[in-house]
A and B are shown apart, each in its own frame.
Chain A
Amino acid sequence: MQEALIQRLRSAVGHEHVTARPDDLRNYAYDGSIDRAAPEAVVFPADAAQVAAVVRACEELRCPYVARGAGTGLSGGAIAEFGGVLISTARMRRILDIDAANRTALVEPGVVNAHISAAVATLGLRFVPDPSSQSACTIGGNVAENAGGLHCLAYGVTSNHVLGCEIVTPQGEIVWLGGRENETAGYDLLGVFIGSEGTLGIATKIAVKLTPQPETTRTLLAVFDSVDDASKAVSDIIAAGIIPAALEMMDRLSTQAIEAYVHAGFPTDAGAILIADVDGLQESVGETAAAIGDVCRRDGAREVRLAKDEAERERIWRGRKSAFGAMGRFSPSYYVQDGVIPRTKLPEVLAEVEAIGRRYGLLIANVFHAGDGNIHPLIAFDEKVPAQVDAAIAAGADILRACVARGGSISGEHGIGIEKRDCMNVQYAPSDLALMAKLKAVFNPGGLCNPAKMFPTSRRCGESARTLQRADLPEGIAPAAGPAF
């Protein structure tokens, strides 16, 4: 990296808040996905002005830069694919203001998701989006990925709960998109910034909407002999006009992995398990939970259990939330997919997922947001065996194709990043992608802000070597790196 750039970074954020030590850099070569690449420097700005100074330095010296929250992303969004500068929000983790009367809070991007709800709990409020990673992931990362969560079935995803963002644009300007009101005049730029995977600028403040806590929540566990029966129950619950707060499914492989890991009390011989949360006023929750139980029994549930107390509720949800971790114990590596299908197509797609696993000789467990039709096949493989890595990636791509063939989407909440960019043209036509490219150029004309993410390269969907080299970048972006630092 050019010495001149390092100097600029140091004067922007302070000497001690820049690192270029190889040992440090290695820690930032990862996120939760498969792809790896280390940055050449990591900076830790303290506020928007410092972020803007860093961005201006990178833009002027034509060096790529990438924002990073907690690095829990599952699509390679925070990977510094071309080296360059990683801008960490780790020092921007203050909750700046809580306005209970208007049900909003203003927070910095490095605030951990779960900390927001914790900070407003005594006011009877919460921040609804609750990704399973909520005890680690940051609100900045949630905004960038438009993260979902267990309770987005009834309450919506991140974009439904963010009112405004202060951002640093790739021109190094600090602007607000949206605000603290429920609406803003003009184009909804906030709407496209959310879910833009760090390619349109860097969020430096986020105004979130807070929601009253429900009075009561009941949790229901239904045990089925087959995935088909459980899937049918999902469709029938929705068709009965019931939208539970959460509706999650796990197949046998995942319940077995979870039981071995956390003992959540799931029967390990079941074909599939459904977990439903029903929340609201005491007067209606019991009735709705009973109605869900009836649908499940009608669809062949062999057992329907209503959590009798908070402890049991927690145990069930802890089991669900530890599913990915459990897979990590069960297999040397696992690869999470994130396709969406119309929920009525669950049985046929899950059957196809199983067939794909057989075809590649890989075990695939399913644990997912059934109510939304957002499937998360967990493909077990061994990262140290190159052939298995290739097979896992190819199997993942086949699953995504199966989703698109049913009118679905290649990502429900984890984003495209590096991981699925070459599958974008499975879902979108060239003219669709051209409009997205136009939008990107409005914010990020030089392309240095999280370069090359989200858009297809010359590779094919499912091809293995997915990261690019600097030489692969379009001309003009980050030409010859300066003297190695």
Chain B
Amino acid sequence: MLNLPFAADLRKHTGSRPRVRPDECARYSVGGCTPKLVFSPHNAREAARIVSALRQEGAAVIIRGAGTAQWRPPPPVSIDAVLDMTRCDGIVEYAPADLTVTVGAGTKFSDLQSALRAQGQFFPCDPSHAAEGTIGGILSGRRDGALRQRFGALRDNVLGMHVSLSDGSTAFSGARVVKSVAGYDIPKLFVGARGTLGAIADVTLKVAPLPQAEAGLVATFERLEPACQAALDVASSPLFPSATTLHDARSAHRVRSLGGGLHDGHAWMLVLRLGGTRGAIARQADGITRICKAASAAAASGVRIEMVAQAQVQHAWADIAELACGAAYSPATVAGMKVISQPSHVAAVMARALSLGPDTECTAHPAVGLTFVHVRADAHVSTAAPSGLRAFANACEAHGWSVEFLFAPPQIGEHLLPALPLRAPIALMRKLKAAFDPSGTFDPGRFLGGI
């Protein structure tokens, strides 16, 4: 625990002036917990100096981007200092012809995309909180979207990074070029580490050319199983759509630009995003239509298919991306979970999730086996009591599906320690944490297994 008189001295040690006024610090709170100090370093070295000084005082430090993931349970017990990374921002180097870009971790995802789009390129990821989220936060939270079906996951598109560690050192690993196997692929560890190993200061990403053309196909189904089957069959075909999302009726309702609802008793909406040459898109649409019809015919249930133009699908995606535990839900009243399973289990995951109660809502990325479950968690809703969510998580574990709680109201969140998947090599993970952050400076106790 940090004593504040010392805090004033930190400036001397680090050359950085922290924010100390409570009203200012409150703007950097995490999960309702206000830090005593906020540092906003401009680069990796400065961040490392700050963290090292804080570590020597035994401080608990949380690394923060835009704060969009701050409601991840359990909430911190107390925070001494926040390392605000938003000043490590901007494009460091962008070589369109090499399909690589190096950016500060505090760069807003949306700013990066605008810069890339101006050159006919994009970073092929559709994360939630796309408007405010920072690159560092999106990587640390492993906020993959459905586009990973075609373009790979975030981990696949990170080439190299600079990190600042709690011993005051900085380290670069990976490379600035599209391919490298020199040394351990340490950037992979920082993707999904939620800031528990060190701070990502800048990162080199692999970017992609924008598709020549895009379109969407929306299929609504009477029943869940044929919808999932169609998604799997498409993913196993040579049609290669860019993304597939599956929505229950409530989730579908939130995609306003696609009509915002289901008709004729249809309860499930499958959205496929298509991209490529115009000829390829027509063919994809045709092939997917056949697959959807075959899947529903085999289940003797109905399907309705509609093509959606490029502008409309791009517009709809702004909504769809936020249905993966994103800005569509308020952490004040909703708990959000990600369930990881084999793709063929998505129907079972969704069915089980929806049995949690009438206020549950699901969006899945069926081709990659991810289901996002949202549950009303007002104090009044008994199904969303922590014990109910915990029981759901345990039932999932019993099937070999793992559950991550992504956000929850603090009064519920404090009971939601991360579940420990049976097979997770937790001993190695603990050793890793101890090697990279020996004093437990970064966000102690909130990661898998209480790391």
Contacts and interface: CB of A to CB of B under 8 A. Distances in A.
Interface of A: 99-103, 124-125, 145-146, 148, 152, 156-157, 159-160, 169, 175-177, 179-192, 194-196, 212-215, 235, 238-239, 241-243, 280-284, 287-288, 340-344, 369, 372-374, 407-416, 420, 424, 427-429, 431-436, 438-443, 454
Given A186-B449, A215-B238, 20 more contacts: A146-B185, A160-B156, A175-B425, A183-B369, A184-B340, A186-B447, A192-B186, A243-B208, A280-B280, A281-B283, A340-B180, A343-B98, A369-B179, A409-B180, A427-B182, A428-B173, A432-B171, A435-B173, A439-B184, A439-B435
B172 interface: yes
A99 B282 CA distance: 30
Contact of A431 (B95, B170, B193): B170
Contact of A436 (B120, B165, B180, B183): B183
B127 interface: no
B95 A372 contact: no
21 contacts: A102-B343, A125-B236, A152-B179, A169-B428, A179-B423, A183-B369, A185-B404, A191-B155, A192-B186, A196-B184, A239-B97, A281-B283, A283-B277, A283-B282, A283-B283, A408-B175, A409-B177, A414-B181, A416-B182, A440-B184, A442-B435
Contacts of A341: 177
B123 to A, nearest CB: 15
Contacts of B112: none
Interface of B: 95-100, 120-121, 142, 144, 148, 152-153, 155-156, 163, 165, 169-173, 175-186, 188-189, 191-193, 197, 208-210, 212, 232, 235-240, 276-277, 279-280, 282-284, 340-344, 368-370, 402, 404, 418-419, 421, 423-426, 428-429, 431-432, 435-436, 447-449
A243 B124 CA distance: 14
B118 to A, nearest CB: 14
Contacts of A188: 155, 188-189, 191-192
Contact of B370 (A176, A182, A235, A280): A182
A185 B404 CA distance: 7
Contacts of B369: 102, 181-183
Contacts of A420: 182
A187 B189 contact: yes
A334 B378 CA distance: 70
Nearest to B432: A442
B100 A342 contact: yes
A420 B181 CA distance: 11
A185 B402 contact: yes
Given A242-B209, A340-B175, A284 B186 contact: no
A373 B98 contact: yes
Nearest to B100: A342
B279 A283 contact: yes
A235 B276 CA distance: 20
B237 A183 contact: no
Contact of A102 (B95, B185, B279, B344): B344
Given A284-B280, A438-B436, A183 B171 contact: no
A235 B448 contact: no
A239 B96 contact: yes
Contacts, number: 258
A472 B179 CA distance: 32
A431 B186 contact: no
Nearest to B449: A186
Contacts of B419: 185
A338 to B, nearest CB: 9
B98 A342 contact: yes
B184 A409 contact: no
Contacts of A186: 192, 421, 424, 426, 429, 447-449
Nearest to A407: B176
Contacts of A180: 342
Closest 4 CB pairs of A and B: A191-B188, A283-B279, A241-B209, A409-B180
B340 A191 contact: no
Contact of B169 (A152, A281, A431): A431
B423 A213 contact: no
B67 to A, nearest CB: 23
B238 A344 contact: no
A440 B156 CA distance: 22
B315 to A, nearest CB: 22
Contacts of A191: 155, 185, 188-189, 191
Nearest to B279: A283
Contacts of B171: 429, 431-432, 434-435
A159 B57 CA distance: 39
B153 A409 contact: no
Contacts of A175: 425, 428
A344 B95 contact: yes
A183 B142 contact: yes
Contacts of A102: 232, 342-344, 369
Of the candidates A212, A242, A432, the one having the most CB atoms from chain B within 10 angstroms of its own CB is: A432
B100 to A, nearest CB: 7
Nearest to B188: A191
A186 B419 CA distance: 10
Contacts of B340: 181-185
A439 B434 CA distance: 10
B181 A442 contact: no
Contacts of A100: 236
B173 A436 contact: yes
Most A Cβ at <10 Å: residue of B97, B155, B165, B425? B425
Contacts of B240: 212, 280-281
Contacts of B341: 181
A214 B238 contact: yes
Contacts of A148: 179
Nearest to A175: B425
A428 B183 contact: yes
A334 to B, nearest CB: 21
B158 to A, nearest CB: 10
A283 B173 CA distance: 41
A241 B209 CA distance: 5
A342 B177 contact: yes
B44 to A, nearest CB: 10
A284 B209 CA distance: 16
Most buried by A among B176, B197, B277, B283: B277
A409 B179 CA distance: 8
Given A176-B425, A189-B425, A235-B97, A182 B153 contact: yes
Contacts of B212: 241
Contacts of A284: 276-277, 279-280, 283
Nearest to A160: B156
B448 to A, nearest CB: 4
A482 to B, nearest CB: 31
Given A181-B341, A281-B283, A287-B277, A436 B184 contact: yes
A150 to B, nearest CB: 13
By CB atoms of chain A within 10 A, which of B173, B181, B193, B447 has the most?
B181
B326 to A, nearest CB: 17
B432 A374 contact: no
Contacts of A415: 181
Contacts of A340: 175, 177-180
